[in-house]
Amino acid sequence: MNLEVEIEIIIPLLKKLQAQLYIVHVYDANVENVEAKKIITNRLAKVDDVKANFEEITGTDIHSAVDEYISENNADLLILFTHKVSLFQQLFDKSITREFAFHPHIPLLIINNR
């Protein structure tokens, strides 16, 4: 996963739509990912012509946490990036992207980042 590349991919779309970007990082309250926060805030500081916000929310169920955030903030579009996973992960881990795809509450844009 390369957060900077993912942000670069969606910036032109955001500019064209004159949209505001909310990057939401869901994490377990017991495990904080300081590096992700640093990368995202540094990259967003360099973005011109796009309103961008970074928010962290805690939760163990990513789907529920994001759904709640979407409802509270009246989001119009959810953008998800897919990532390469191992065969073991495909068999035993649940796909967050697939979970959102089967239960969309708002329009969903999935970008294949493999």
Helix, strand or coil, per DSSP, at residue 113: coil
CATH code for position 67:
3.40.50.620
Residue 1 has pLDDT above 60, yes or no: no
Give the number of domains in the chain.
1
Higher pLDDT, 19 or 108: 19
Residue 31 has pLDDT above 80, yes or no: no
Q: Tell me what the pLDDT averaged over the chain comes to.
A: 76
Helix, strand or coil, per DSSP, at residue 42: helix
Residue 105 is given by DSSP the state S
> In the chain, where do the E strands start and end?
21-27, 52-58, 78-82, 108-112
CB-based contacts of 91: which residues, under 8 Å, 6+ apart?
none
What is the distance between the terminal CA atoms of the chain, rounded to a whole angstrom?
A: 9
- Containing structural domain, residue 62: 3-112
User: Which amino acid belongs to residue 113?
Assistant: N
Q: Which percentage of the chain shows pLDDT scores above 90? A: 0
- Could you report the per-residue pLDDT of 51-103, keeping only the tens digit for each? 888 888 888 887 888 888 888 988 888 877 776 666 665 566 666 666 776 66
